[in-house]
Structures are given as C-alpha cells and as structure tokens.
Amino acid sequence: MSEFIKKMANQDIANEPTGSYGVHYTYADYLQFTMDEMVEIIKGKIFRMSPAPSSFHQSISRNICGLFYNFFHRKQCQFFVAPFDVILPVKGKDFMQSDRVVQPDIVVICDPSKIKEKGCFGVPDLIIEILSPHTTKKDVQDKFDLYEESGVKEYWIVEPKNQTVEVFVLENEKYRRIQTYVSDDVIPCITLTGLELDLKEVFDECKK
C-alpha cells in the first residue's frame, strides 16, 4: 500500500460499517433493504453513504462528466454517475450472492453486456471516487482494496481540498501508483486510449 493511501486512510474514522454483528450481507439482501439512507456493501459489511455531498464535490463531478460526455459520445464505452449500483463479481458465486455492492462517484464501462437496468453487473474499466470528509477511509482503503481485488483496471482518487488526483493502474493484480496530478496537469488515461482529463477545466470552475 502506498504512503498516500496510508496517510489519507488515517484522516477519517467516521465511516465505519453498520448492520447486525456477524451478518454477512449480499446483493440479495441489498435488494430487500428498506433503509431511508443509501448504503454500500463491502465484503459483506454495510457502509452508510455520506450525507449529501458539498457543492464543491458536485461541481467537480459535473465538470468531469461534461468532459467525459464530449469524449464518449457515440462510443461504445459509457460512463455513469452516482447513484448507480455496481455489483462486483465474486469467484464461484452468482451476482445475487455477491457481497460487493458499491456506488462509485463515476464509472466507465466498455462492455455493454455488463450494463443492466439495475446497474453494472461486472467490473468497470475505470472508477473515480471524489473524496468527502466522511468517505476518505472507505475510498482510499476499503474501496482501494476492493477494486484492486476485483480487477478494476484503473482507479482515480480525487482530493478536492488540495485539488489533486491520485492515479492507480492494475498490474499483475496489484495497483501501481502512477503519480499525483495537480490542478494544472492533464491526466492521460492508461486504460482507455485517447482519454485525457484537463484538471484546469475540472477545478477552475469550482468554488469551495
């Protein structure tokens, strides 16, 4: 695990798993939940979603999606923004038995067969998480490990406060940190040829 991950994970302890002690939850359970709040399931444990994101968080998401729309328009790959369920596969189990149900901020999926009415059933090609005060530990530790284990090819962690993006690419079943990109950089996507993200266009229009 990189020093970035260790450092960021230690900054947040608010997002802890909930649910009944000792119960291992699955997607089948998820479909039966009647909770008022939105949740995710990470390796059988329920995690509450953070309260409504800040306007700054949402502005970053909006700007990324605007740039993505221009790139992906009329292409096979599609992107989706939360709330959007991603049910990750577990070897030897069907999707109803999956104990991995997440709602990333932004996902890119290039295999149309994975896209169903209720979400993505399979591994996305690219996942982007935009950190919030209550999700830092989950996004940089719990989800980092989950996405790595599940085979997500590329993972971007956006840090709004410092206006940086940490990029990780899967190599030999482990994430390799590419680098930390700052607000005037352009990120070249390793997994999706031709996709670039100009961070000046992502952050310049945002206000904290």
The pLDDT score that the predictor gives to residue 205 is: 67
The pLDDT score that the predictor gives to residue 204 is: 79
Of the candidates 61, 136, 147, 71, which has an alpha carbon nearest to the alpha carbon of residue 105?
61
- Taken in order 146, 17, 101, 129, the sign of the CA dihedral is negative
- pTM of the shown model: 0.89
Residues in the chain: 208
Query: What is the domain partition of the chain in residue ranges?
Result: 3-203
The span from the CA of 205 to the CA of 202, in Å, is 7
Question: Across the 208 residues of the chain, what is the mean pLDDT of every consecutive 10-residue run?
Answer: 51 49 88 88 91 90 96 96 97 96 97 97 98 82 95 97 96 96 96 96 75
**CATH superfamily, domain at 3-203:** tt1808, chain A (3.90.1570.10)
| Pair of tokens at residue 127 | 């996942």
The pLDDT score that the predictor gives to residue 21 is: 55
pLDDT digits (tens, 9 = 90+) for 190-202: 999 999 999 999 9
The pLDDT score that the predictor gives to residue 14 is: 39
The span from the CA of 195 to the CA of 82, in Å, is 21
The pLDDT score that the predictor gives to residue 79 is: 98
